[in-house]
Amino acid sequence: MMNRTIAAIATAVSPSGVGIIRVSGDDAFTVIKRIFKKKSGHFVFENKEIESHVVTHGFIYDDSELIDEVLVLTMKGPHTYTGEDTVEIDCHGGVLVMKKILETVIKYGASPAEPGEFSKRAFLNGKMDLSQAESVIDLINSSNEFARENSLKHLSGVVKDKLSKIRAEILHEIAFIESALDDPEHYSLDTYPQELRKKVELFIKDTNSLLKNADNGRILKEGIKTVIVGKPNVGKSSFLNALIGEDRAIVTDVAGTTRDVLTETITFDGITLNIVDTAGIRDTDDFVEKIGVEKSKEYMKDADLILFLVDATSTFGKEDQEILNLLENKKSIVLLNKIDLGQSLSLEQVMEKVDHKVISISAKEQIGLDDFINEVKQLFFHGEVTFNDEVYITGVRQKQCLISCYQSLTQVLNSIDQGMPEDFFSIDLMNAYTELGNITGESVGEDLVNEIFSKFCMGK
Amino acid sequence: MNVIEEQYDVVVVGAGHAGCEAALACARLGLETIIFTVSVESIAMMPCNPNIGGSSKGHLVKEVDALGGEMGINIDHTFIQSKMLNKSKGPAVHSLRAQADKNEYSKRMRQTLENTEHLTIRQAEVTDLIVEKSSIQGVKTLSGATYYAKAVVLCTGTYLKSRCLYGEVIEHTGPNGLRSANYLSDSLKKNGVEMYRFKTGTPARIDKNSIDFSKMEEQFGDERIVPFSFTTNPDDIQIDQESCWLTYTNEQTHSIIRENLDRSPMFSGVIEGTGPRYCPSIEDKVVRFADKNRHQVFIEPEGNGTNEMYIGGMSSSLPEDVQYDMYHSVPGLEHAKIVRNAYAIEYDCINPNQLLPSLEFKNIHGLFSGGQFNGSSGYEEAACQGLIAGINASRMIQKKDPIILDRSQAYIGVLIDDLVTKESHEPYRMMTSRAEYRLILRQDNADLRLSKIGYEVGLISKERYDWVCYKEKEIAKEIERVTSVTVGAKKEVQALLESLNSTPLKTATSLAELIRRPELNYDVLKSIDVNRPELHPEITEQVNILIKYDGYISRQMKQVKDFKKLENKKLPQNFDYNTIPSLRIEAIQKLNQLQPISIGQASRISGVSPADISVILVYMEQAYRNNKDNKGE
C-alpha cells in the first residue's frame, strides 16, 4: 500500500498555461523512462542515470502516440515533498492534456493517488512538521469526502445500472463455484468451465463498452449535468455563449453526446458543467411544445442542475409559472436576465415567487457571471472547490478500475483455456468484482458469503 | 466450612473438541491443568455429524496437527471411511474428510486425556468465575468447590442455558439429553460479558436394520487413504472402509413439511436463537428453496459398534409424528425406525468481538475461550480455537508473547480474525472462500507453514521439525534443478509428450515449463528427467504444485507482502479513538469497541473506511514523534 507509486494532477485544473502531473514512489523514475522521448523519438533517459533536481525537455508518448511537449523535473528522495523519488511533468495545461498524461503515467506503472495521499506520505516520511498533522488529516478527510460524493455523482445512471448488473452476475458465478467447492457432492462443475467462458465473454464485452465510453467522456461524466430552460427569447443561447466566452472557461467539444441536442462541457475553476442546450428543439405553434416542455422534462429529470432564465424586461407570466412548476425539488438557479435593458421585473418580485436562489445577470454585458459561478460552488461544493483535481482523478481512478476488471476477466478466460482448475477462476472473478465495486465505492464485505447462502442450498 | 479449594495453573471448562485441545496443550506444556465436564462419558463427543474434515475444515485439522494438536491423530486412529474431496480441482481446495466411529473417537480422546501428565479430569458443573480487578482468579463449581488458577479457558460448547426443541416439546438439556449448564451465563454477564443466543440442529438417527439400502446410491471411500496427521504413516491406515449412502427427498416429503410448518418451533417463533444459514434444517430448505423438487440425503454410519445411522441433510425441529412421516417419505426410509429424534438446540455464546486475537478476553485478563462458546460451529473450528486458546493461556502464564496466526499463515488465522473482528449473527463456519490467500494456505503444506511455530511453542518434537526443515530445503533445491534443466526435442521426449497428448517440442525447454502444462506433471516426466534425485513423495508433491501454479502463487505472495505491512503496524490497546480529530463517529464507535491490535485488523472492521485508516496512520505517526521528542528532552 505504501509502496505503490502514485500519480495525480498537482495543480488546480485551470486554463492557465501550465499544469503539473506529479508522480511519487519507488517506480517514479521507471515510469517516466517508459514514456518520455526526445524529438528524435529516442527515450530521453535510456541508458542514462537520472539526476536529481534537474529539468529536462522532451515529449510524453503513449507508445507511438504523442501526447504533449513537456518539461520533466526529476527529484530523488528523500529531498522531495513526499520524501520519495518524485517526477513532476509540466505540461501545457488544459483539461484533456493533463488527463491524458495522467492516464499515460498510470498505464505505464503508477496508480491514481488516493485522496490526500501525497500529503499523507509527506507526513509519514517525516517531511512535514508535527504541527501540520491535523491539516493533513483534514485534507485526507475533506478530499475523501469530495471523492466519495463525486465518484457516484459523476457516474451516469445508465453506467451505475450496468455496473451493478455485471457485478451481480459475476458474484453469482463466484458463489456457484464456491458452493461447488464447499459442497462438491452436491454441486458439480463438470460442464461448467465452457458455460462460464460464454458468460465471461459477455462480462468482457460489457466492461469494454464501458471502457470505450469512458474514453469518449460519455459515461464518466465528470461534470454537473445542467439544463437551461426558459421561454423563447429569454436569452438562453446568449447566456451559454457568455459562459463559453468567459476567458477562464475551458470548453470541450463533446458533440453528438445525444442525438438531437448539443452538449457543451464548460469548466470553471475546477467545476465542470455539462450543459444541454435545449434551444435546438424545433418550434411549433403550440406554446407548450415550443418551450420544449416534454423534452425539457426528460432532461430535467436527469439533470443535476437546472438554470431557469427569466426575462427582466417582461413580467413573470404564465409560461414562467409553468416552467417553475417543473423545477420541483431539483437543484436550480433562477437567472434574471437582461437587467441591462431597463428592468420591469425586479429581483425582489422574482424572489417572492420562487424558493430557489435568484441572481441578476446580463448575458450580453457579462454581468453577474461571477455570482452565478459562486452559487454553483455553493450548491455543489458547499462553497469550497479546493480539491478540484479530485474530479479528474476520480474519473481516472474509475477508468483504472475498469481496466483492472477487464484484465482479471481476461485472466479467467486464459485459465479456462489452459484447463486450470475451477477454483482459480473464482480468484480472478473476485478481483474483477472488487474492482467494479471500487468504482462506486462499494466494498466487498460479506457479499460472497451472503450470495452463497441465499442462492445455493448448502449443508447437512 | 468444609469446601474443597484447589490450585491449578489452568482450568479448562468443557471437554468437547475445543476443551480437549486446550487442556492437552496446557498439560503438554507442563502446566498443571484441570478440565471440567458435565459428563466424563461425553469427552470429545460428536453430537451431530459423524465426520471430521471436509472442505476447508480438513485444512483446519491439518493445521491443528502441524501445531501439535490431537484431532488429526485421533481421527486417523478411529475413522471408518476417508475421502479426499475436490481432487479434480486445484490443490488449494483439496480437502480431506473422514467418517468417524463416534464412540471410538470419543474413547480414544478420553484415554489420551487420562494418560497425559499434569492433566486432571473432573466431572462437575462450573457455575461461577472468580474475577478480581479484571483478572481471572479461578472458578467455582455447583458444589461450592473453588479451583484457583492463573488462567481459565472456557469451551462450553452448546451447553450454556441450552434447550432442545422439536414440535411443542422443549427439553432443558444440552445435546443428546446431557445436562445443560445453567449458571455460568449469569456469572459471565455479571462480569460484563456480552452474550448472544444461537441455535443449531441435528437430524434423526435411524436403525440401520430398518433401512432399504437397495433404493440408495452407495458412496465409497477413497482407494488410497491419506492421513490427517503428518505423523501418521499412510501405510498403517489402509483399512476396510464402511460405505455411506445417498438418497433424496421428494415432493411428498416437501408437502408433509409445508403442511406442518406451523408446528415447527422455528416458524412459530418459540426459538429465539439465530441459526446458521449454511446448515439449514430441512424445513428451512423447503421454504427458502421452494423451486427445488428434491434435496440430497446422506445416510452415514455412526460407528462400527452401533446400528445407528445419521440422516445427513434432514435436520429438523418438527414434531415427532411429522418427523416420522417426513423420513418415511424418503426412498429407502419407508420403514425407518427412529432411534433418536431430530431436534434444534438453543444455547448462550458470546459476542467474540470481546476477544483479542489471542482468544483472551480484552476485559478479563487470564480468561480465554474457544469453540462454539465463541460463536463458531463445527468440531474442527472448535478444536483449532481450543488449541490456540490453550497455547496462549500457557504462554500468558509463562510470560511469553501470544501466538497469533494471521490471515496469510493459516485458516486458523482467518477464522479467529473473522471472529474477533467482524460482526456475525450466526454460528461461524469456515469456508475456503473466506481465505483470501488460499493458494498459499493449502492442506498439503500445513506442516511447512506451521511446524516452526508448533516447535517453538513446544508441542511438536525436534525430530518432526527437523524433517520439515529438511523437506523445505529439498523442495527449494529440486525446484531450482527442474527450472534450470532443459530438455531438447529428442525422440524419447517427443514420444512421451505424444503419449500424454501434449504438443511436441519445437525448441529445447526447461522441465519446469513442461510441468506447467496442464496435461503434464512432475511425476509423468520421470523417464525424460535422467538426473532426477530420489525424493520423498511429500517433496515432489510440493515441487509439482509450486511450479504448476507458480504464477498465481507468486501473485498471492506479493499481496501477502502488502498485507503483512499493515498487520505489522501495531495499534495501542485501551485507546480512546475520540482523541483522534475528525474520525467519523461510526468509525470511532467501532474502533473503541474492538480495539484492533493492528492497522490491518482495523482496516477489516466494517464501518472503518480507507480514509479513516489514513487518518489513524497520520495520527499515530504524530503521537510517535511527540513521544520521541518528549523522551529526547
DSSP string, B1-38: ----EEEEEEEEE--SHHHHHHHHHHHHTT--EEEEES
**Residue pLDDT, tens place only, B400-418:** 999 999 999 999 999 999 9
Nearest to A427 among B86, B298, B552 (CB): B552
What's the confidence (pLDDT) of residue A263? 65
pLDDT class of B502 with cuts at 50, 70, 90? very high
- The better pLDDT of the pair A382, B176 is held by B176
Nearest to B285 among A138, A189, A457 (CB): A457
What top-level class would CATH report for the domain A6-128?
alpha beta
What's the confidence (pLDDT) of residue A277? 63
Tracing cell 468484482 back to the chain, one arrives at A433
* CATH 1.10.150.570, chain B: domain bounds: 569-632
> Check: CATH 1.20.120.430 for A157-217+390-455?
yes
On whether ipTM exceeds 0.90, the answer is yes
- CB-CB under 8 Å, A178 with B88: no
- The better pLDDT of the pair B256, B280 is held by B256
Whether the per-residue pLDDT at B34 is higher than 60: the answer is: yes
Preceding peptide of A78 cis, ω within 30°: yes
Taking the C-alpha atoms of residue B389 and residue B152, their distance in angstroms, rounded to an integer, is: 10
* CATH 2.40.30.260, chain B: domain bounds: 205-345
User: Residue B626: its chain A contacts at CB < 8 A?
Assistant: 130
Nearest to A424 among B298, B552, B566 (CB): B552
- CB-CB under 8 Å, A181 with B49: no
% of residues, chain B, pLDDT over 70: 99
**Residue pLDDT, tens place only, B423-451:** 988 999 999 999 999 999 999 999 999 99
* CATH 3.40.50.300, chain A: domain bounds: 224-385
What's the confidence (pLDDT) of residue A383? 47
Distance from first CA to last CA of chain A, Å, rounded?
41
Nearest to B618 among A2, A3, A133 (CB): A133
Tracing cell 488544459 back to the chain, one arrives at A94
Taking the C-alpha atoms of residue B444 and residue B226, their distance in angstroms, rounded to an integer, is: 11
Q: Does B312 touch chain A (CB under 8 A)?
A: yes
Tracing cell 521439525 back to the chain, one arrives at B465
pLDDT class of B281 with cuts at 50, 70, 90? very high
What's the confidence (pLDDT) of residue A17? 62
Taking the C-alpha atoms of residue A222 and residue A159, their distance in angstroms, rounded to an integer, is: 13
User: Residue A178: its chain B contacts at CB < 8 A?
Assistant: 431-433
Q: Determine contact, residues A101/A70, Cβ cutoff 8 Å.
A: yes
B5-199+347-456 in CATH: which number? 3.50.50.60
- The mean pLDDT value for B593-598 works out to 95
Whether the per-residue pLDDT at B190 is higher than 50: the answer is: yes
Q: Determine contact, residues A306/A227, Cβ cutoff 8 Å.
A: yes
What cell was used for B258? 409445508
Estimate to the nearest angstrom the gap between the alpha carbon of B416 and the chain centroid.
10
- CB-CB under 8 Å, B619 with A182: no
Q: Determine contact, residues A427/B439, Cβ cutoff 8 Å.
A: yes
> Check: CATH 1.10.150.570 for B569-632?
yes
Q: Determine contact, residues B55/B378, Cβ cutoff 8 Å.
A: no
Interface test with B, best of A181, A438, A442 (most B CBs within 10 A): A181
- Strands (E) located in B431-502: 486-487
- CB-CB under 8 Å, A459 with B614: no
Name the minimum distance, in Å, from the CA of A186 to any CA of chain B: 7
The answer to pTM > 0.90 is no
- CB-CB under 8 Å, B618 with A140: yes
- The mean pLDDT value for B191-207 works out to 96
Helix, strand, or coil here: B90? coil
Q: Determine contact, residues A77/A83, Cβ cutoff 8 Å.
A: yes
What's the confidence (pLDDT) of residue A257? 33
- CB-CB under 8 Å, B276 with A133: no
Taking the C-alpha atoms of residue A296 and residue B567, their distance in angstroms, rounded to an integer, is: 55
What's the confidence (pLDDT) of residue A155? 64
Q: Determine contact, residues B185/B42, Cβ cutoff 8 Å.
A: no
The helix or strand, by DSSP H or E, that contains position B271, with its residue range, turns out to be: none
CB-based burial, B62-91: b 16+ in 10 Å, e otherwise: bbbbbbbbbbbbbbbbbbbbbbbbbeebbb
What's the confidence (pLDDT) of residue B441? 97
Whether the per-residue pLDDT at B261 is higher than 60: the answer is: yes
B472-557 in CATH: which number? 1.10.10.1800
Taking the C-alpha atoms of residue A446 and residue A434, their distance in angstroms, rounded to an integer, is: 12
Q: Does B570 touch chain A (CB under 8 A)?
A: no
**Residue pLDDT, tens place only, B482-500:** 999 999 999 999 999 999 9
**Residue pLDDT, tens place only, B4-27:** 999 999 999 999 999 999 999 999
- CB-CB under 8 Å, B313 with A460: yes
The CATH homologous superfamily for domain A224-385 is P-loop containing nucleotide triphosphate hydrolases (3.40.50.300)
Nearest to B582 among A137, A186, A448 (CB): A137
Whether the per-residue pLDDT at B338 is higher than 50: the answer is: yes
**Residue pLDDT, tens place only, B316-331:** 999 999 999 999 999 9
pLDDT class of B627 with cuts at 50, 70, 90? confident
Q: Which residue of A has its CA nearest to B423?
A: A446
Q: Which residue of A has its CA nearest to B284?
A: A457
The interface residues of chain B toward chain A in range 199-258, judged by CB-CB distance below 8 A, are 203, 219, 246
The interface residues of chain B toward chain A in range 327-366, judged by CB-CB distance below 8 A, are none
What's the confidence (pLDDT) of residue A301? 75
Adjacent-strand bridge partners of B343: B202
Q: Position A85: which residue type?
A: D
- CB-CB under 8 Å, B277 with A453: yes
The interface residues of chain B toward chain A in range 459-518, judged by CB-CB distance below 8 A, are 518
pLDDT class of B592 with cuts at 50, 70, 90? very high
Tracing cell 488458577 back to the chain, one arrives at B149
Q: Which residue of B has its CA nearest to A452?
A: B278
| Mean pLDDT for all residues in chain B | 95
Helix extents (H) in B168-226: 184-190
* CATH 3.30.1360.120, chain A: domain bounds: 6-128
B205-345 in CATH: which number? 2.40.30.260
* CATH 3.50.50.60, chain B: domain bounds: 5-199+347-456
Over chain A (460 residues), what is each successive 10-residue block's mean pLDDT? Answer: 79 66 94 93 87 93 91 94 94 77 92 87 84 77 66 65 91 96 92 96 91 55 72 80 63 40 64 65 46 64 83 86 80 89 85 88 87 80 46 73 94 94 95 90 82 78
Taking the C-alpha atoms of residue A453 and residue B289, their distance in angstroms, rounded to an integer, is: 11
Whether the per-residue pLDDT at B455 is higher than 60: the answer is: yes
- The mean pLDDT value for B97-115 works out to 98
Nearest to A445 among B566, B582, B606 (CB): B606
* CATH 1.20.120.430, chain A: domain bounds: 157-217+390-455
User: Residue B415: its chain A contacts at CB < 8 A?
Assistant: none
- CB-CB under 8 Å, B90 with A424: yes
